[in-house]
């Protein structure tokens, strides 16, 4: 994947994504019919130039087919308590099965989501059930964001995000 000339996300956005917040992955088929699913994990490079999202294959078959067919992905990262939201898009992706080295990333994400969802009053048991999956059922989608947007509700929603 070619490097972008400048980062799209500033350090604040990278920190929000890195801590592990609600992550929804979307794509579309050739007829432009959307598909989407909640991720079971996410990771971002320290410079924001590369993102990996993790999906449960058994719950994401259509989405994974669409991503593989089009190479397009859109991912929304949102803090449940504040609704602060960032969307990133890419037109080139790499898909692979999760490996043992991904397990710590998935566990870190689970613990963060227990905290994030706990902030709005839901239990860790709820989050564990929502994100439960076996490692051999997980697919990783790696990409370099080519577009980024502020999707926080309010007057700047939809604004492009070149790094500040």
Q: Where are the domains of the chain?
A: 11-152
Q: Mean per-residue pLDDT for 17-44?
A: 97
Percent of the residues in the chain that have a pLDDT greater than 90, as a whole number: 92
User: What's residue 7's pLDDT?
Assistant: 75
Q: Which of 92, 114, 130, 112 is nearest to 17 (CA)?
A: 112
Q: Mean per-residue pLDDT for 88-107?
A: 97
Rounded-to-integer distance, Cα 120 and Cα 7, Å: 32
Please, which pLDDT band fits residue 5 given cuts at 50, 70 and 90? low
Q: Which helix (H) or strand (E) holds 83?
A: none
Q: What is the pTM of this model?
A: 0.94
The second-level CATH assignment, the architecture, of 11-152 is Roll (2.30)
The mean pLDDT of the chain is 94
**How big is the CA angle at 121 (ends 23 and 119), to the nearest 5 degrees?**
60
Percent of the residues in the chain that have a pLDDT greater than 70, as a whole number: 95
Q: Under 8 Å CB-to-CB from 41, ≥6 apart: which residues? A: 23, 53, 54, 102, 105, 106, 109, 110, 131, 138
Rounded-to-integer distance, Cα 102 and Cα 112, Å: 16
Q: Which of 23, 40, 38 is nearest to 138 (CA)?
A: 40
pLDDT digits (tens, 9 = 90+) for 38-95: 999 999 999 999 999 999 999 999 999 999 999 999 999 999 999 999 999 999 999 9
Beta-carbon neighbour count of residue 129 at 10 Å? 9
């Amino acid at each position: 994947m070619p490097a972008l000339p400048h980062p799209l996300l500033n350090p604040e956005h990278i920190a929000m994504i890195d801590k592990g917040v609600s992550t929804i992955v979307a794509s579309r088929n050739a007829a432009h019919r959307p598909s989407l699913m909640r991720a079971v994990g996410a990771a971002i490079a320290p410079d924001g130039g590369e993102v990996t999202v993790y999906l449960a294959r058994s719950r994401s078959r259509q989405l994974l087919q669409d991503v593989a067919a089009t190479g397009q992905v859109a991912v929304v990262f949102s803090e449940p308590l504040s609704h602060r939201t960032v969307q990133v898009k890419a037109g080139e992706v790499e898909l692979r099965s999760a490996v043992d080295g991904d397990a710590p990333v998935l566990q870190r994400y689970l613990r963060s989501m227990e905290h994030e969802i706990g902030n709005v009053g839901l239990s860790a048991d709820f989050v564990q059930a929502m994100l439960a999956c076996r490692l051999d059922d997980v697919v990783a989608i790696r990409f370099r964001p080519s577009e980024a947007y502020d999707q926080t509700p309010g007057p700047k929603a939809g604004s492009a995000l070149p790094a500040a």
